[in-house]
């Protein structure tokens, strides 16, 4: 009797394992929201806790890492690499936009091809590629980039719901359905509802285009960067000759930075505190000019008779690069002076801008915020896409030049064959993607190193961890309990049950990564369908659309974060169009699923 009361009153009918799982899931959401801890680390710690406390056994703990969802997502990165390094993507980007004469036409010309590509390719990589194309395109059309970046991001997100391989969330749902029922979803199962959502979404964005913010491009803040530089010369009688820059106090100076030094022989020197000063040296500084000019008095320098006006005059081996501070960057709340990023990458910070305005302060002393725009001088060969840099900063100007050759045709044929074979169910989605990845490597569409670099290992770890959390939610009875609660609230009407779960997923996916939300809600939606006695496939298809409708905040998905800095946006800019768009797409998705796939009683 005591045990019965304890289980039903104090534990609300749930097991202790279920409450451990609930506490773990809430902790995961809280850490994601309020800290900068990496998502993959959060997931690995969470499943470690569940295993240590006996909620999961060893096989269940490792199930996510061997799941077909993770394998498909990983090998699709290799397929993407084949298309990218043979020039197929670059060719598409160059030829699809054109030069429309009206803004609504420009939105249409941009959003349709972007969404079509997103149906088959990584939305993160497409966002990175299109961001740089849009920057140039906006100049040609004389349109503020902020009027294009958000619509592009929406198109990428909505296009991902046209096929099962469009996003990882779709693959999670399809894999869960296959595991639970033994049936497989066709790659184009979601096409009709997804296409209707895309159509309605594009019409809505064009209709409310005046709501899109007209923000100054962050790059404009640096167009006069060299008005903030001054060149000083070391006279032959200067007492600091034969000292190092650090010893003389000329490396880090009040109000600015030393960004280059030329000796009397005009050969550029390595910029270092240990570089010796010689008579006739030319020192180029950037920052607060009035404070830098005080060096004339304090260090016996003179103004050079040759002021540098372009980077080509400084050193042909260096260039200016623009970067944006990521949302989860460890640089947030710190200054560049407090970090080792300059020293580790041989870069020098020239200036900082925030929301399109240059900050009138010494660059290395500015406390950085998410979305800040940084202007660096760095060697031309600097790999700004190295993972140790991209985890902190998002560099602009994708400079990869790929020669389009015969392999472009080969990679296109491989991709086409994969789509046809999986669509006709000749091979499964897992087999089709693996065969396509192998073909890309065998026909040398990309090298092994390029393929490995194109796989987002962190994302795969996050995905695997999310799947394991979903397993725990199903195993401990949480999914069934939530499903019963939904049924108790809205009754046994299947449409209301479907809509209720979709709205809950839609709300949470605005603040938590959509992959994690999908993994948690897939078992809940499945159990909800079973409780009301209907075939679960339409319910899960509706969940795909709702979980992908993460448009209202910049932290909801990777594409949202990637356009935040380049567009010069504010947090509220996403909400103005994103909130109504999210609601419209979710409701349209539920209606479209019901029309395309009439609900069938079990």
Vertex 154: Cα angle to 153 and 155 (nearest 5): 90
The CA distance from 415 to 408, in Å, is: 11
> C-alpha 540: how far from its chain's center?
25
Q: Running DSSP on this structure, what letter comes out for residue 6? A: I
The CA distance from 197 to 502, in Å, is: 15
Q: Running DSSP on this structure, what letter comes out for residue 350? A: E
pLDDT tens for residues 235-253? 888 888 888 888 888 887 8
Provide the pLDDT confidence category of residue 584 given band limits of 50, 70 and 90.
Answer: very high
The CA distance from 122 to 547, in Å, is: 17
The CA distance from 589 to 16, in Å, is: 37
pLDDT at residue 323, rounded to an integer: 82
Q: What mean pLDDT is predicted for residues 327-343?
A: 81
pLDDT tens for residues 50-59? 999 988 888 8
Distances (CA, A) of 400 to 86, 129, 142, 527, 533: 12, 10, 25, 47, 53
Q: What mean pLDDT is predicted for residues 262-291?
A: 73
The CA distance from 494 to 599, in Å, is: 8
Maximal CA-CA distance, the chain = 97
Q: What is the pLDDT of the chain when averaged over all its residues?
A: 80
Task: Check pLDDT > 90 for residue 90.
Answer: no
pLDDT at residue 295, rounded to an integer: 81
- Determine what percent of the chain is predicted with pLDDT higher than 70: 84
595: number of Cβ within 10 Å = 11
For the ranges 152-166, 280-294, 316-330, 403-417, the one whose mean pLDDT is highest: 152-166
Mapped onto helix, strand or coil, the DSSP state of residue 318 is strand
Q: What mean pLDDT is predicted for residues 162-191?
A: 88
Provide the pLDDT confidence category of residue 4 given band limits of 50, 70 and 90.
Answer: very low
Q: What mean pLDDT is predicted for residues 171-179?
A: 88
Q: What mean pLDDT is predicted for residues 327-340?
A: 81
Task: Check pLDDT > 60 for residue 197.
Answer: yes
User: Do the Cβ atoms of 328 and 38 come closer than 8 Å?
Assistant: yes
pLDDT tens for residues 363-377? 777 888 887 888 777
**302: β partners:** 233
pLDDT at residue 498, rounded to an integer: 92
Lowest mean pLDDT among 79-93, 199-213, 409-423: 79-93
Positive or negative: CA dihedral 206, 211, 213, 214 = positive
pLDDT at residue 371, rounded to an integer: 78
pLDDT tens for residues 15-37? 888 888 889 888 887 887 677 67
pLDDT at residue 254, rounded to an integer: 77
User: Do the Cβ atoms of 433 and 75 come closer than 8 Å?
Assistant: yes
Nearest to 284 by CA among 303, 299, 297: 303
Q: Running DSSP on this structure, what letter comes out for residue 541? A: H
- What are the structural domains, with CATH classification, of the chain? 221-395 (3.30.70.1450)
- Determine what percent of the chain is predicted with pLDDT higher than 90: 17
The CA distance from 449 to 454, in Å, is: 9
pLDDT at residue 279, rounded to an integer: 83
pLDDT tens for residues 455-487? 878 778 887 888 888 788 878 888 778 878 887
Six token digits for residue 97? 């936009």
Positive or negative: CA dihedral 50, 56, 58, 62 = negative
Vertex 54: Cα angle to 51 and 59 (nearest 5): 55
pLDDT at residue 6, rounded to an integer: 42
Provide the pLDDT confidence category of residue 312 given band limits of 50, 70 and 90.
Answer: very low
Measure CA of the first residue to CA of the last residue in the chain; give whole Å: 37
Residue 494 CB partners (closer than 8 Å, separation 6+): 529, 532, 534, 539, 599
The CA distance from 77 to 6, in Å, is: 50
Query: Which DSSP string corresponds to 260-281?
Result: EEE-TT--B----TTPBP-TT-
To the nearest 10°, report the CA torsion of 52, 54, 57, 63. -70
pLDDT at residue 225, rounded to an integer: 47
The CA distance from 525 to 531, in Å, is: 10
Query: Which DSSP string corresponds to 394-436?
Result: EE----------HHHHHHHHHHHHHHHHHHTTSS-HHHHHHHH
pLDDT tens for residues 423-459? 787 888 888 889 999 999 999 888 888 888 878 787 7
Lowest mean pLDDT among 79-83, 480-484, 538-542: 480-484
pLDDT tens for residues 295-311? 877 888 876 654 433 33
The percent of the chain in helix, strand and coil, each rounded to the nearest 5, is 60, 10, 35
Six token digits for residue 191? 């096409």
């Amino acid at each position: 009797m005591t045990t019965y009361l304890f289980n039903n009153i104090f534990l609300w009918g749930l097991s202790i394992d279920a409450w451990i799982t609930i506490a773990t899931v809430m902790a995961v959401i809280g850490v994601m929201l309020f800290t900068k801890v990496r998502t993959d680390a959060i997931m690995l710690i969470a499943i470690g806790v569940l295993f240590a406390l006996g909620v999961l056994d060893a096989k269940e703990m490792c199930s996510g890492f061997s799941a077909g969802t993770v394998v498909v997502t990983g090998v699709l990165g290799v397929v993407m690499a084949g298309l990218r390094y043979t020039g197929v993507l670059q060719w598409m980007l160059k030829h699809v936009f054109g030069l429309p004469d009206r803004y609504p036409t420009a939105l249409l010309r941009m959003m349709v091809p972007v969404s079509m590509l997103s149906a088959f390719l990584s939305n993160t990589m497409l966002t990175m590629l299109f961001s740089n194309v849009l920057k140039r395109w906006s100049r040609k059309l004389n349109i503020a980039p902020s009027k294009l970046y958000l619509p592009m991001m929406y198109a990428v997100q909505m296009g991902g719901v046209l096929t099962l391989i469009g996003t990882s969330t779709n693959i999670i749902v399809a894999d869960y359905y296959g595991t639970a029922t033994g049936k497989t979803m066709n790659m184009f199962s979601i096409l009709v509802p997804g296409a209707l959502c895309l159509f309605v979404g594009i019409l809505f964005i064009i209709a409310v285009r005046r709501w899109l913010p007209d923000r100054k491009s962050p790059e404009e803040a640096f167009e006069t960067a060299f008005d903030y530089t001054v060149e000083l010369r070391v006279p032959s009688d200067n007492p600091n000759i034969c000292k190092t820059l650090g010893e003389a106090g000329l490396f880090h100076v009040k109000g600015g930075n030393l960004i280059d030094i030329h000796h009397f022989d005009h050969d550029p020197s390595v910029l270092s505190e240990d570089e010796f000063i010689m008579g006739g040296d030319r020192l180029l500084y950037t920052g607060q000019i009035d404070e830098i000019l005080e060096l004339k008095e304090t260090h016996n320098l003179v103004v050079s008779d040759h002021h540098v006006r372009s980077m080509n005059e400084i050193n042909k081996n260096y260039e200016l690069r623009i970067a944006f501070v990521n949302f989860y960057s460890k640089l947030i709340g710190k200054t560049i002076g407090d970090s080792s990023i300059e020293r580790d990458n041989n870069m020098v910070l020239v200036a900082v801008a925030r929301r399109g305005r240059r900050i009138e302060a010494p660059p290395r002393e500015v406390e950085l915020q998410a979305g800040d725009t940084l202007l660096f001088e760095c060697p031309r060969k600097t790999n700004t896409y190295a993972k140790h840099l991209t985890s902190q900063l998002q560099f602009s100007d994708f400079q990869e030049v790929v020669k389009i050759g015969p392999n472009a045709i080969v990679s296109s044929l491989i991709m086409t064959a994969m789509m046809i074979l999986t669509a006709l169910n000749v091979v499964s989605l897992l087999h089709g993607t693996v065969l396509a990845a192998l073909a890309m490597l065998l026909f040398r569409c990309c090298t092994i190193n390029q393929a490995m670099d194109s796989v987002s290992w962190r994302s795969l770890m996050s995905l695997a961890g999310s799947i394991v959390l979903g397993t725990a939610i199903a195993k401990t009875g949480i999914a069934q309990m939530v499903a019963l609660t939904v049924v108790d609230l809205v009754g046994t009407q299947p449409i209301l049950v479907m809509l209720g779960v979709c709205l809950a997923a839609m709300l949470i996916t605005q603040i938590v990564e959509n992959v994690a939300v999908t993994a948690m809600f897939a078992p809940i939606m499945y159990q909800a369908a079973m409780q009301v006695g209907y075939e679960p496939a339409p319910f899960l298809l509706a969940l795909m659309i709702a979980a992908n409708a993460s448009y209202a905040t910049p932290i909801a998905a990777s594409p949202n974060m990637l356009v935040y800095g380049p567009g010069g946006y504010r947090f509220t800019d996403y909400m103005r169009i994103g909130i109504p768009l999210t609601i419209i797409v979710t409701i349209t998705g539920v209606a479209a699923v019901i029309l395309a796939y009439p609900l069938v009683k079990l």
